Structure 1
Amino acid sequence: MFDGMERRIVSLWFPRLASDRALRARPADGPFALTLAQDNADRLHCLNPQAEAAGLYRGMTLADARAFCPGLQSRPADPVGDRRFLQMLRRWATRYCPWVGLEGEDGLVLDITGAAHLFGGEAMMLADMRHRLGRAGIALRIGLADTRGAAWALAHYHEGQAAPGQTLAALARLPVAALRLEERTVIPLQRLGLRTVGDLAGAARAPLARRFGPGLLLRLDQALGRQPEEVSPLADPPHYGVRLTLPEPVGLTADVMAGTARLLDRLCATLAAQQAGARVLQLTLRRVDRDSRQVELRLARPLRDPARILPLFQRAVAEVDAGFGIDQMRLAAMVVESLPARQLSHVGSRRGDRLADLITRIGTRIGLENIRRFLPADSHIPERAFLVAPAAFSEPGTGWASPRPRPLLLFPPEPVTGRESRPPRQFRWRGETLATARATGPERIAPEWWLEDEGWRSGLRDYWLVETRQGRRLWLFFTPQRPGWFVQGEFA
């Protein structure tokens, strides 16, 4: 690509990426650190300069850190948010060159070959990087060399530049750890007297290869340019947003729906190419007075079928105040989930789709979280044998695994007369006198001793299915420890 041109690589290292990001969102004065739970203890993960000046270091337990520095402020770390932030920095760095890749969890690598002259030379380019990131409050160390390994070494161990063709001279005095070696390799090398890159480069290669394997010499050769090491730029994540600018303002619901249909066709094609489906869609309608109206559609399951999605917009679009007209429309998938292609079957697939569409239609009026379903739970206690979950964010259960039938209606235990271990022949319940026709049981259920439950402090329960002469089918239980009968449910 750049024949006859010296390759130049820039390594950007953000030594305090996590804490810099956290302090950008919520500034704090004085010593500050982010913590992560490791080995049953909260340990310091990333520190600001004041915390490092106080003698604190990464990996130190939070309890010890507070003993050394009582004024330390801390927050839990967010590794996922840090990775997203690094991805944002990667996209920002493409302003300097198109070849930008990630370097671990806290760095970037840029292949600026043939691009430095656009900024007035390498020195001006690096100065611009420092200025912009420093103004954003992000600590930065930069290395520039002919190879990726040498640039990384300079950024981490001796910030600076290596002139073209002078890589070994720039690295000679750096420790061998600058070659991105593991600690288990670095310590034996130091014991052999090979403490710097220059020492290692001048040593006999055959004994080193026998003792440490090919990995050591590969890292050395990569840093010195004897072995190639590519910079692989990451592809930008797919953008799930489409826009439509109208030649004339529209205000009728039918016209807006027609524009939405065109946007949906384009958006769903993008979703299909990525094998994804939308869970939340946002339609933004810009009026001619530059004010905007937004319509949000939350779906019960991931979808990318325009024919099924479009009617779900109808009600919300009809309620939009178009003002003097709408001249621009934008549709974006705000939440996207994986939706791989699957074999369709006439058995049950259409029924499941109709149920999801019904949940979505009702959810647009009362909220998806308010449509719930019962799911089986892993407990033999009747009150704990089910969960209530939003139907849009859960799958139907396979049914309750119980050796005996359970009543359709379950309620808190209600006492009835009777103290014998057999179901009473006659009892009063809710003001009605009932006579037992047939009783099936008992089914003994023991309390879950590892959980505190006030209702089960009486101990064991013997459950009976009691069919009365009056037609009621009740679920009664007897408590042997404190003799007594209770009704807890009614069968259909």
Structure 2
Amino acid sequence: MGSAEHWIAWPLACLSESSPVPESACWWALEFSPRVALLEDALLMETSMVQRLWGGAEVLLARLDSAFAQARQAAATGLPESAVAKPLCGRGRTAWQALARLRLQQGRPCGSVSAPLAVPESSPHADALPLWTLSALEQHSAVLLRLGCRCWGDVRALPRAGLSRRIGAKALRALDEAYGLLPQPLDWLQLPQQFELRHDLGYPAHHADAVLHAAQPLLRALQSWLQARHHAVLALQLRWHHDLRRIDGQELPGWESLVIRTAQPTQGMAHLQRLLREHLGQQRWRAPVDMLELQALETAAWAAEPLSCLPAAQGQSPSDSLAWHEWVERLSARWGEEAVQMVQPLADHRPERMQRWQAAAPLLQSKNPAAARDANQAGAGAQPRQQGTHRGRQLGCADPWQALWPPWLLPQPQALSVQGNRPQWHGPLQLRAGPYRLECGWWDAAGDAQAAAPSGLAERDYFVAYNAVVGNVWIYRERVRSEHLMGMSASPASWFAQGMYG
């Protein structure tokens, strides 16, 4: 696919046996791109914004071909797999060009044109596309044929003013949209906030197997809705409408329902189908069913299953390989517990003491699930400073200075030289924000003989500083203690660098 051919078109008729095709049959495409639309008899997708996210155009096309083939196979339940193994699609620089190339592949019978022109799909230009591939020109094919036009390029070569009087400005505008000269307005496909979908069977279903078979399109639509919204279902409700109002003199309710719940959120329909089969088999069917409705009662954000930290062995699926905690326990047993460590957050305002490293295996095996979960999250994404501080950057947080905390801390504070009362780090530093005063650690028990104060006591003024060499850095100045001032033994203020901004 060329770099500019970022529009893809698929035939709608392959996705559903119903006519017209419901939008729910096209929800599977929203998993790959938010720019999906229905145009005439085709499903179209614009992929320029998402190609890089999927690993490139070729990888995305392979995934789309597989997904469309699965949707097509699921819709054509009466056909063998070999009949639907080769998916049809058209690609082009615009939506109309992609639709035209799809119609060329389909070999759709044309109206006034006796024989369509054979144009290869990889044609670099749209001028050779026949008239019948664009609906706006096909309506005027008789006039255009008398003028000697057989393809789009022939129409563009005619004088525009006279052609507009013959076929109208609307057809010329569609031609300009097909060439990308004018923007083409499209109604993008959107998912509903709540899943609630009805399906008219078109025939009476008398037993559980027939009802379960008729519910397959609803289950496929539910799976597409969950995947596109990155959710999983916990509870759903299936309702069915009775074809008769009265039987044997007894009034029948218009609707009956069945609620299914699962212990764990799921996106797979195999387990839900088994649950439905068991519950529907226990129902007493008092009248035929002619309509079904499926509703998702409770959903949750989908958390993908964590994969192994080690590559799977040959012939082994990734789900059968080592999980995170198993990997930690194996390495700890082989190299010792101290060889594999995690970051554990601590309640301390001193940046260098907001976290500590601890052996990972005992922490994961802790009897306190909350502590183990926090440590697991911190260990899985540990950085040189504690990650929980980033989660504190919220509107209305207790300490507005948290927004200026650097993402990286130096292993040890680095002393800075002072010239003319200005700290130096590869040149003079300009103070841009501050001071942020910190006084913490007075509760530490150990003493410092020189300072006559607890060793952990931190009395600092923090600043954000800058120069052209080091960029933005986080520095602090140690405050002169009152004991030094009273003894007249005050020394020049000491400056230290502690953090960096990228």
Same topology, TM > 0.5: no
> Into which bin does the TM-score normalised by the smaller protein fall?
0.3 to 0.5
